[in-house]
Amino acid sequence: MISINNLTFGYSRRKILYDNLDLELQEGNIYGLLGENGAGKSTLLMLIAGLKRPHHGTVDVGGHYAADASPEFLREVFFIPEEMTFPNISIESYVGVIEPFYPKFDVTAFFEMISEFGLTPDMTLHNMSYGQKKKALISLGLASNTRLLLMDEPTNGLDIPSKSQFRKLVAKYMSDDRVFLISTHQVRDLESLIDPIVIVDSGKVVFNETLDSITEQLLFTTADKVEEEDVIYLEKGIADDKVVAKNTLGDISRVNLELLFNAVLSEKNKMADTLSTSLKTKNHHGI
C-alpha cells in the first residue's frame, strides 16, 4: 500500500532529517509511529500526505506518488494534524464542504461518531475547545473511508472517556483495505490498538515489528525472573527493576511500549542482534 524508498528530507542543507529512509506499510494494519521529540514524526506524516516534497526518493501510496498530489491520490488520503484551524461555520456546514472531496465519505457514520463524542451538528467549529475540534476531525477522518488515514497525536486534548471512545471507533472503522498510521508519544493511550510498531531515530527506521513478533522474541518482565545474560535493557524501579530480555523459553508477556521504546533507543545493537538472531533461527528451522 505505502512504499517509501530512499527518502531524503531536511529543513536545511546542513541538517538532514531523513537520509535514505525506507519503509513499507501494508493494508489492514494500525501502525504506531514512535520517536523522540524532534525525530521528525510529524514531518514524515506530511511527506506521506504530500504536504511536503522530499529532496530525493519517493513516497508511493497505492500507485500514486505523494509529491504529485494528484486528485486520485488526494481522495484516498486523510491527514489529521496535531494543530487545527477551522472556519467560523457549523460542523454540519463544514461536512458539506468536505464530503465532495471523498467519494466514499459516510455522512451517517460521521454524525453517529460526533454524537458518541458528545458533539452536535449545530456547534460552531471556530468556537469549540481544542479537544472538541480534535473529536470532530477524528470523526471526519474515520468517516472519509480513505485507504490511508494519517493521525498526528490524535489523543492530545482528549479526556480519559474520550480516549476510550477513540480507541473503540478506530477499531470499528478499520478494515482490510485501509492503513492507519498514528504518530504518538502517548503510548499508554494506544497500547491496545497500534500494531505493528515503527520507531524512527536519527533519520532511519530503527524498529518495525508486529506485536506477535515482539512477544515471540522479547520478554517484558522483572529482573528477578530472568537470567542476567538474557537481559537486553533494564530500567530501575522503586519496587522492581523492569527489563526487556531475550525470550529464550518462548514465554508470553504483555508488551510494555514505553519499555520497548526506551530499549530500542538505548540498546540499538543488542536489540538488532536479538531480533536478527531470532529471525535466522526461525529460517533455519523452516518456520
Tens-digit pLDDT string for the chain (287 aa): 789 999 999 988 788 899 999 999 999 999 999 999 888 999 999 999 999 999 999 999 889 999 999 999 999 999 999 988 899 999 999 999 999 999 999 999 999 999 999 999 999 999 999 999 999 999 999 999 999 999 999 999 999 999 999 999 999 999 999 999 999 988 888 988 999 999 999 889 999 999 999 999 999 999 999 999 999 999 998 888 999 999 998 899 999 999 999 999 999 889 988 887 544 444 333 43
Can you give the pTM of this predicted structure?
A: 0.92
Residue position matching grid coordinates 513499507? 24
What are the structural domains of the chain? 2-207 (3.40.50.300), 210-284 (no CATH)
Residues in the chain: 287
Query: Roughly how many angstroms between the first and final C-alpha of the chain, as a whole number?
Result: 26
Residue position matching grid coordinates 530472568? 226
